[in-house]
A = this chain, B = another copy of it.
Amino acid sequence: MVAKQHKGAPDEADLTRADSLAREIFSDIANKWAFLIIESLGEGTLRFSALRNAVEGISHKMLTQNLRMLERNGLVERNVHPTVPPRVEYTLTEPGQALRATVDGMCDWTHRYLGDIEVSRRRFDT
C-alpha cells in the first residue's frame, strides 16, 4: 500500500520511513516520460540521440532530466564511450527490466480498452 502512510501503527518508525520512501519513488517514476523511456529501452541499449527519436515529442531537457532520475534510482545504467564525438549508451538494469514488465502491462491495457475508452469519452463529453 503506497497511497496511505500509516500513522500510529506499532513499529511505526520504520514503517513510515519505508512508506514515505515508497511514496517518493512512486512520485518519481509514475510520470509519462519515465514510462515512455523505459518502454523504449525495453528493446535494448540505446544512445541518447536514438532515445530522443524513440520517444516522440520529448525535449532534450526532459530526456536528460528523466534519465538522471532513472539512473539515480538504479533503473538505467549509463555508459560513456570516451570517443570523439562522445557516445553515451543507456540500458535498463535488472530492476528496470522488472518495472518494464508492468509498464508493458499498462501498454497492453491501453490497447485492449482503447475502444471502450473512446466510447466512454464521447458519452461523457455531452
Contacts and interface: CB of A to CB of B under 8 A. Distances in A.
Contacts of A23: 56
Each complex incorporates copies of this chain amounting to 2
A108 to B, nearest CB: 8
A88 interface: no
A30 B22 contact: no
Interface of A: 1-5, 18, 21-23, 25-27, 29-32, 35-37, 39-40, 53-56, 71-74, 95, 98-99, 101-102, 105-107, 109-114, 116-121, 124-125
28 contacts: A1-B107, A2-B36, A2-B39, A2-B110, A3-B36, A3-B39, A3-B40, A4-B40, A4-B53, A4-B55, A18-B111, A21-B114, A22-B110, A25-B110, A25-B117, A26-B32, A26-B35, A26-B36, A26-B107, A72-B120, A72-B121, A74-B120, A74-B121, A95-B109, A95-B116, A99-B106, A102-B102, A105-B105
